[in-house]
Structure 1
Amino acid sequence: MRRARDVREQLENLMQRVEIEITSTPDDTVNIRKAITAGFFYHTARMGRGGQYKTVKHHQTVMVHPNSSLFEEHPRWLIYHELVFTTKEFMRQVVEIENQWLLEAAPHYYKAKDLEDPSGKKMPKNTGKARDDVTRTYT
Structure 2
Amino acid sequence: THFLQTKTLRRVREIRSQLQDIMKSQKMAVLSCSADWDRVRQAVCSAYFINAARMKGIGEYENLRTAMKCHLHPTSSLYGIGFTPDYVVYHELVLTSKEYMQCVSVVDPHWLAEQGPMFFQVKETSFQARMASKRRGEEAVQQMQAELDKLRSEREQA
Structure that is richer in helix per residue: 2
- Say yes or no: TM over 0.5: yes
Q: Which runs of 5+ in 2 are unaligned?
A: 1-8, 126-158
How far 1:22 sits from its partner (Å)?
Answer: 3.2
Amino acid paired to 1:20: A
Aligned sequence identity (%) = 33
Q: TM-score, normalised by structure 1?
A: 0.69
The alpha-carbon distance between structure 1 residues 11 and 57, as it changes in their structure 2 partners (threshold 3 A), is closer
Q: Which runs of 5+ in 1 are unaligned?
A: 117-139
1:12 aligns with 2:20: yes
2:93 to 80, 83, 97: 83
RMSD between superposed Cα atoms in Å: 2.4
Q: Secondary structure at the match of 1:68?
A: coil
Amino acid paired to 1:43: N
The alpha-carbon distance between structure 1 residues 20 and 112, as it changes in their structure 2 partners (threshold 3 A), is same
1:58 aligns with 2:60: no
Higher relative contact order (CA 8 A, sep 6+): 1
Equivalent pair of 2:65/2:119 in contact (CA under 8 Å): no
**Residues of 2 paired with 1:19 and 1:47: CA distance?**
38
Equivalent positions of 1:19-98 (< 5 A) are: 20=29, 22-25=31-34, 27-48=35-56, 50-51=57-58, 52-73=60-81, 74-98=84-108
